Every structure is written in C-alpha cells, then in structure tokens.
Structure 1
C-alpha cells in the first residue's frame, strides 16, 4: 500500500494536509509528477526516498535501511534483510507540486514489481552507486524504462566514498546506453577528499548543506579565476555544446552570440527540460544521500526536468477515451478489515465512488465501492478523482496488477477504434499500444510447496490466488502425481 510517515500520528493534521494538496492540485496536472526510483540493489534508493520525505516535512526523523525503520520498506522481510521487495508509493509535497514517488526493488528477483510500476509512471530517477557506475540491474531497469519511453534523470549517489568517480558514471552511461549525460553538478571536496558540497553548473553557485540532517542549503557564488571557476566553465561549456546539438533554440543562441560565458540560466533550464522530456539527453546529478548532501537538488530536478502528465506524448492514446474514465491497476494489497485494495493511475475522465467499471484485460465488469486518497495507513475517502492522479479503491474482486479499466466496454471499443483510425493501426496493434495485455517477464525462481494436511489445501489455494492478484508473474501448477503445488515467479 502507500506507506508514508510512521512518525505522524495526528489524523486531523493528516486530513488537513491532504485537503490542501488534493484541492490545490485538482485539475492542475502541471503540478503533478508521477515518478519511480530505479536502481541496482544497494545503490541507495530507499535512503534517498527517506531523505525526500524528511526534507518535505512529512516525517520528523529519518529512518535508516540498516536500522530497519524506513517508511517505504514496511514489510518485516524488507526490514530484516535491508532490501526493497515490493514497490511502495509515497506522495511528497515539494515547492507547490505533488511528487507521487514509487520506490521499487533493486533485486532482479523482484523485477515484476518494477515492470508494474513503470506502466503508470511519467518519469524516473535512476540511482547509481558512484563507486560502481552502471551495474547489472541498472541495465535491466534502463531497458524497461526505454520500453515504456519514460524520461529520466540520473543521480550518482555515494559520492562521499573514497572510490567514488563521477567521470566513471559519465563514461559508463555513454558506453552502455549510448546517451548524452548532461552533467549539472560537480562534487566539491576538502584536501582530505571529504565531500563538502556541490557546484551548480547552471547557476554557478556552490551548494553546501547545514544542520544536523542537512535541512539547510547555502548558495555561494563562485569566485572567478579559481580552480573551481575553471572546473565550472569547462563543464558548463560542454553542457551548452551538448544542448546545442540536441536543441535548435540553444543552437541558434550559440550561433548568434559572441560567447557563452553569460548564458542565461533560465534558458538552460528550459532547454534541459525539453531534451529530457523528449529523451534526447539525461540530466545527471550527484551527491550522498546517507551524508545528507544533494537530495533537495534531486527533488528540484524532478520538478524542473521530469514531465507532468500533460507532457507525456505516450499518454496520447488515452485521449481517445475522451471524457470516459480509463485507469490502470499497478498494485493490489489485501487487508483483513478492508479486503483487497487496488491502486490505480487515472489516465482519462474521472474515477467516482460507486462507479461500475469494465476490466478490458479480463473482459468483465466490476464495481468500485470506495475511492480513497492514501496517506500512510490513513485512508481519506473522496467522491471522485480526476485524471493524472494516483488513487486507492475497494470493491474490485478480480482485477490484478497491470489490468486496464474503463467506464464501460463501449468506451474501450470506441477508444480502440479511434486509435486504429487515427494512427493507421490494426486492432491488435491498438490493443498493444493501450497496454490491454500485460507483459509478464520469464520466471527466475521455482519451488514446490504442499499444505501440512489436505484440510489446508483450500486455504493454500486462496492465499495463492491473492498472491497472484498482487503479482501476476506468479505461476501456479498442481502436480497430481506428487500432490505438490509448483510455483514459478
């Protein structure tokens, strides 16, 4: 489920926060960012997410992965092992924006969780261990993000380590992915090698973090004719040159100007946003989440460079639903009191309480009982939710992760027909574009199980059915000869 601040326990305060942000952002999709954090295991995804929650004011003390008390790693197995197993969503208010962020597993065994998440995202933050660069699972999540055409920014974490290397990250990003990294920061170190701050390449400032947990950020202009100024000018010149190759407006300015020393920072910001959204270039940040250096810059980068739902051309097919509701399920959890809770990304129309919906992936109708915005383990029921938002609902009995829902069967047929005619596609191609059928990766884990006695077989079957709704990659077969249930996932 959505898991937010465990330290915040005042329901009245929570309700006020949600009313303020929900009302403010209703029908204002430009203020929404639906993003995921993706990485190889132990790159620092969960630690980074924890800092984001803290700096936004949603939690009042930071948990640590090694202490087993982070917000997004809420399962007992996650806290015991210090890894993320299931995707967890958090909503972060930051500078008048809502960042709906999903922390995903970094281990290949749980890649289906990443697949389900990417299906509903507009952008992503790829976290690297700066001492290792691009690792095995980094390659996997990058390919997955490519498949869904998701714009992304890269964060080179753990720059406090003695073996950290930003040039290593830059070179590996170029060689492994054939992309142009747009370096936006330069690490600042003491003579001993200790990381003490970052240079902002765009605004020509040195950023330093203060306070016990790095809550305060100072911005100091860089003096000319210093080594830091020389490093800044070199990286900035390279950045502008790369942007000129990818963006015509920057190229025109460069061609018609006498120099680029005083290039306007706002023009650069706009150009970086354009090339990021069109996936021509990838903004590169650096820092150390554990040492509380650089996280606020990533949050600013999410707002400045990653797309809102309005900016996503891949969402164009959903415009053929018109005012009809369309949404995708990306997470299912089972609670004893509330029953199955399904998390949806709304693509078009408005999702309403008590609405009858059509599951296009399973060709069946279901009823939604309650529509809820979620804050920690506190559910706030609302009457309706407009497009662009993420929401939790109850009442769906058959929907599994990845299913496409709409207001009716006719709405789906009309959308497919309009999409086919507009794009010159076949019916099968239109179905693939809308993602009616979920792409399930091959299993990487196999085992056999059996109940302690035959009287428990029904309970086992029910439990496996619930697990399949939560993770469609789970495949169940019954071996009549051995009496065992074979699982693959």
Structure 2
C-alpha cells in the first residue's frame, strides 16, 4: 500500500488539533469526537496539554483512506515549541497548513511556509473557522498569495461566512468562473495546457485538470486552499478527498535495506527510553539489532501506530512509524541503518533566550541535573549547560511559555520544585578576520603527544560552521582526525566571550603524531588550545539576535507607537494605513520585543497586535556582553591545563 506522512501545521489557536480530531472522526478512525477545550482529543495526550489546551509535543496517529495509509502528525503551533516542529518536517511527504479565517496569515504561518518551501514539502491550505464572526475566505486566499509568496488556488465556494449558517461547497472545476481560474493557474507552469486552453478548451477534461493539479501540487508549484470548520465538520469531506488524491504518497520497499530516522524520544512509565522511528525501508523485528551512530542496539519492545491505536507487534515494515524500546543510546535525529547519515540540518532559528534553573531545595541539585538531562534528550535544543561542578544549570528557550512548561514538567513528572532566573538573550560571536594556531609535538609549551595546526576563516552570514582537512590524511589514523573535528565543533560553542561562534570555517593545516604513544585523547585535549589561539588572533565580535516584526495598531495610536519603537531601537521598514488600522513592519533586537509587547496594550487600548520571529544576528552596540563559561577555559591556558591534565 501507499503511505503518506502528513503533517498538520499552524499558528497557535488556528484549530490544528481540532482539525486532526475531525479527520480521525470523519474517516471512522475514532467513534467519538474529542475537544481541545475539554482535554479529550486523541493527540493531546500529555496532562499539561490537556490543562493548557495547547499542543506541546508532536503526536502520531495512523488511518487508512482506500489504498493509502496516512501517518498523521499533529505538531505544536506555539512558537516556543518550534524545535518539535523542526524534527517533524524532515519526515513529511506533505502537509496541511491551517489558517484561521478570522486572524488570517500570522507570524508562525510565515515561518512554517518558508520552511516547507525550503524543504520542498508539498502542502495545501485549510482555512478554518469559517463560521466565526469576522471570517473571510477570498480575502484570506489573497493574503496567502501576497504575504507568503505562494500560488494558492481556491477550492471552496462559501456562502454566509461569519455565521452559524455558513455553508461550504467544493468548486466545480469545469464550470465558470472556476474553469478559467483553474486553467489560468495551471497554465503558468504548463505551456501545453495553456495552448489547449486557448485553441481547444474542449480537450481539457476534468480528469486532465485534476491530474495537472496533482502534478503541480507534488512539485510545490500550486497550493490548493480549502475552507470549512473543523469543530462542525463543514468542508472536511473535500479536504479528505484532497489528502487521498492530490498529495503525493510513497511506495516504501519492505524488502530493501533497513533505513529510517528517530525523530522523538520519550520515557515510559518505568523510566525506560522509547524512541519513535520512522522506517522508510526494510523490516525490523523483535530482538533485531539496529545500527545507530553510537553502535548497534537490540530492539526490546515494539509498538506501531495503526488505525488510531498503538499496537504491540513483533515486526515493523517500511512506511510505518514505531515506538521502540531498548535503544539506550538513541538520540533525536539519529539515522538508522548501515548507510545512515548523522548530519542533521536545521531549518528554524536557534533559541534566543537562556535561563538559569535552580532547585528550591538545595538537596535536589542532583535530581534536577538528572531530570534536565532527560528533558534535553526529548528536546536537544534545550541545550543544557552547566558550570564545572554542576551547581549552576542553564537551559535555552524560545520563549517564556516554554519556561512555564519546563517548570510544570519538573514539578509534575519529577516532583521537583524549581525556580528560574530572569531570561537573558543568547548572543553569538562572529569572526572579524582570519587567524591561526599551531602546537608542535615535543615542543614547549605543548604537553600533549600531538601536533595540530588550525586556521579559522569567516563564512557568509547564515552559512553555519564547517571543518576541512588541508593535510595528508594518510599520515595519521582516521580516529585522530575525527577527534579533532568533533572537538572543534564542541569548542566553537563558547568563543572568546563565552558565546557560540557562528559562520566560521576551521581548516586543519598541520598534523603529526608519535606512534604508538599518541592517542585520540591527546588530539581532543590539544584542539581547544589551538583553536582558542586561532580565534584570539582572528578576533571576534559579539552579535545579538534581531527579530523581524509585524505590528498592527489603530491609526490613532500610530504616533505613540512609532515613538515607542524609536525608544526601543527598532527600525521600521514599511508602513501602511487602511481601514483605520496602521500596519508596521521592521526589525528590532530580540531583547526589546518584550518591552514593546508590555507597553503596546496601554498605547493602543488593548487593540495592538505584535508578531515577531528571529531574523538574523547583528553586531551588538555598546559594551561587549560576555557569558560565564562552563568547564575548562582554553582561552586561559593555565586554568585549562590544570583541569584537563
């Protein structure tokens, strides 16, 4: 059978989880419709999700449409949990992007659509809540086209929008004005269809139009826009038909080599680690050994998502998503199989906040450390950081809501009462120029049995960090080079001022060992000293995160709002006044977003709306900010050698 990994994505409160529930109900997967308000939905299974009415962790449920098995993945909508969405995007064959018919395109909508387009994931839109006061359809389709730079095509006809008598019908592609609209949309990328539309329109049958539409959807050229109401089921039938016929599934090979990816980690009732595996090729049976980056691991338990349930099985086949126990060394992002690729690319911005966590009872320090380690397994972008003796623990955050969730999780799941210090903005360091460092074996002051030469060069903005060998690889064991590379990336997490060094290329320019005395440990211990020398000679500058914002206020509050933005150092890039509403766009440092947010309500009598998302790093003005370093400091040679030798 064909399979389809389908993501449901949206800005928070657009109705994503309600749509998931409705799809399960209308396909006969569940016999009772749950509600987000009552905490009875299938996919919001965590107690905190039920209490708060928001999705925190991605959830999987499977159902069948004809010959198509759909693995439906409900994802968080709140921007604080974008890391969870990050892991899901890399699994998807297609997606449904949910947009509120009242609020329209929102900040998270833009972020998600940009990521889907970068990954080449086909997607359709579902404009939800068409029965709510103020709901619009045609206007929202127009906004999608203008604000998201995509080509939507309207698939629904709406009457009485914005009321309980709202009615939605699928458009007839063969009737005007829809026929011309579809042909115009399809002809942009299909010259043959354009020619036939002009010269022989009778040749354009419904079958041909549907085939052309499915082809362009699969190629991410067009994005059908359906509408309805998930709570009542209006318009859902057409969306289900589109999932079955328009979105591209795959035909996985159960006889091929074992290949897959681990995209989620959680703990069972007994504290055992459970890994979510998306198996794309081959079969895995109980007691099989799976090849992971950390070594082979034996499958101890196995469950699969099937027809809305989680079932115990003895074998998993390609196209299924399984929850597997026994993989003690599994990590999120691990590729499974002999041909695995351990490199994981990220498509969203990193967290921009950091906070210190401390137990209210000092005796809980060890328990807190263990609990945070488990949470960082489930969300690696928490970036758990400690000082040398673990008395101070720091976690990275996307926002204050995430802090509240972590605090509640520690209380509910680990019985730990903790306090968070005020969040601070996470800065980064960029190279000013090129620098180099060299330590030679058997030559003072190098105490290690290794020769390492490193050169650092700045890379273009957002290019990321990279490493290359500019030496004869055959002169040393491969494990020594690997030790240097791994340590380079680890050392770049804390530069001269304690912040992560970004957009930096490191080249290894010299290498020598003493056989058989030298070990990989010599190269691991020496690399930070050499890299610190190279970074110091190149010099770095501290850069702070800058957000792109979209702000709407009543026109009467525009002057006061512009004054506030100026005081906060914002840079407005565009301004539009329409219908008594002023719309402002621009950039502002992430550190000032909360200041604007707090004062906006008073300036606009509660009518102002601010949306923001990370845009780039820019050189920080004023005094240079530094961050306390955890562990040995390679920029202080005496301290480093004392701690490492």
TM tier, smaller: 0.7 to 0.9
Deviations 1:137-163 (A, max 9, x none): 001111221232110011111111232
Matched with 2:312 is 381
Matched, 1:336 2:243: no
Matched, 1:235 2:178: yes
Residue in structure 1 matching 2:27, options 35, 51, 56? 56
Checking the alignment, whether the CA contact within 8 Å between 1:112 and 1:441 is kept in structure 2 is no
Provide the C-alpha distance between the structure 1 equivalents of 2:390 and 2:317, rounded to a whole number of angstroms.
51
365-374 vs 341-350, which moves further: 365-374
3-state DSSP of counterpart to 1:233: coil
Matched with 2:125 is 154
Provide the C-alpha distance between the structure 1 equivalents of 2:308 and 2:212, rounded to a whole number of angstroms.
40
Matched with 1:403 is 334
Matched, 1:483 2:382: no
5 Å-filtered alignment, 1:170-189, equals 170-189=141-160
Deviations 1:67-121 (A, max 9, x none): 2221111212111211111111111223342211111111110000100111111
Matched with 1:73 is 44
Matched, 1:346 2:346: no
Number of corresponding residues: 396
73-82 vs 191-200, which moves further: 191-200
Provide the C-alpha distance between the structure 2 equivalents of 1:190 and 1:143, rounded to a whole number of angstroms.
29
Which runs of 5 or more residues in structure 1 are unaligned?
1-27, 205-231, 312-318, 413-433
Matched with 1:281 is 222
Checking the alignment, whether the CA contact within 8 Å between 1:374 and 1:391 is kept in structure 2 is yes
Matched, 1:292 2:199: no
Matched with 2:260 is 327
Residue in structure 2 matching 1:437, options 344, 354, 365? 344
Q: Which has the higher helix share?
A: 1
Provide the C-alpha distance between the structure 2 equivalents of 1:325 and 1:482, rounded to a whole number of angstroms.
40
Change (3 A) 1:446 1:198: same
Change (3 A) 1:201 1:258: closer
Provide the C-alpha distance between the structure 2 equivalents of 1:115 and 1:435, rounded to a whole number of angstroms.
16
58-67 vs 455-464, which moves further: 455-464
Change (3 A) 1:377 1:60: closer
Deviations 1:246-273 (A, max 9, x none): 234533542441458xx42222221111
Normalising by structure 1, report the TM-score.
Answer: 0.75
Matched, 1:44 2:9: no
Provide the C-alpha distance between the structure 2 equivalents of 1:275 and 1:167, rounded to a whole number of angstroms.
22
Normalising by structure 2, report the TM-score.
Answer: 0.57
Checking the alignment, whether the CA contact within 8 Å between 1:402 and 1:438 is kept in structure 2 is no
3-state DSSP of counterpart to 1:169: helix
457-466 vs 323-332, which moves further: 457-466
5 Å-filtered alignment, 1:417-436, equals 436=343
Checking the alignment, whether the CA contact within 8 Å between 2:7 and 2:72 is kept in structure 1 is yes
366-375 vs 249-258, which moves further: 249-258
Give the C-alpha shift of residue 404 in structure 1.
1.2
Matched with 2:85 is 114
Give the C-alpha shift of residue 181 in structure 1.
0.8
Provide the C-alpha distance between the structure 2 equivalents of 1:330 and 1:108, rounded to a whole number of angstroms.
19
Residue in structure 2 matching 1:460, options 343, 359, 368? 368
Provide the C-alpha distance between the structure 2 equivalents of 1:152 and 1:245, rounded to a whole number of angstroms.
18
Matched with 2:297 is 366
Provide the C-alpha distance between the structure 2 equivalents of 1:176 and 1:342, rounded to a whole number of angstroms.
38
Provide the C-alpha distance between the structure 2 equivalents of 1:236 and 1:193, rounded to a whole number of angstroms.
30
Alpha-carbon RMSD: 2.7
107-116 vs 328-337, which moves further: 328-337
3-state DSSP of counterpart to 1:309: coil
Checking the alignment, whether the CA contact within 8 Å between 1:400 and 1:468 is kept in structure 2 is no
Q: Which has the larger radius of gyration?
A: 2
Change (3 A) 1:129 1:190: closer
Give the C-alpha shift of residue 63 in structure 1.
1.5
3-state DSSP of counterpart to 2:359: coil
Provide the C-alpha distance between the structure 2 equivalents of 1:452 and 1:193, rounded to a whole number of angstroms.
51
Matched with 1:23 is none
Provide the C-alpha distance between the structure 2 equivalents of 1:179 and 1:191, rounded to a whole number of angstroms.
25
Checking the alignment, whether the CA contact within 8 Å between 2:132 and 2:162 is kept in structure 1 is no
Matched with 2:193 is 250
Provide the C-alpha distance between the structure 2 equivalents of 1:235 and 1:302, rounded to a whole number of angstroms.
21
Checking the alignment, whether the CA contact within 8 Å between 1:441 and 1:473 is kept in structure 2 is no
Which runs of 5 or more residues in structure 2 are unaligned?
398-645
3-state DSSP of counterpart to 1:65: coil
Provide the C-alpha distance between the structure 2 equivalents of 1:473 and 1:192, rounded to a whole number of angstroms.
43
Provide the C-alpha distance between the structure 2 equivalents of 1:376 and 1:456, rounded to a whole number of angstroms.
43
Checking the alignment, whether the CA contact within 8 Å between 1:181 and 1:281 is kept in structure 2 is yes
Checking the alignment, whether the CA contact within 8 Å between 1:448 and 1:484 is kept in structure 2 is yes
Change (3 A) 1:199 1:146: closer
Deviations 1:453-488 (A, max 9, x none): 454333222222221121111111224699331111
Provide the C-alpha distance between the structure 1 equivalents of 2:50 and 2:296, rounded to a whole number of angstroms.
38
Give the C-alpha shift of residue 345 in structure 1.
1.1
Provide the C-alpha distance between the structure 2 equivalents of 1:137 and 1:183, rounded to a whole number of angstroms.
22
Checking the alignment, whether the CA contact within 8 Å between 1:181 and 1:283 is kept in structure 2 is yes
331-340 vs 435-444, which moves further: 435-444
Matched with 1:390 is 321
Change (3 A) 1:443 1:395: same
Deviations 1:363-386 (A, max 9, x none): 433222233213599643333323
Change (3 A) 1:258 1:475: closer
Provide the C-alpha distance between the structure 2 equivalents of 1:167 and 1:378, rounded to a whole number of angstroms.
38
Checking the alignment, whether the CA contact within 8 Å between 1:33 and 1:303 is kept in structure 2 is no
Deviations 1:37-60 (A, max 9, x none): 001111100111111111122222
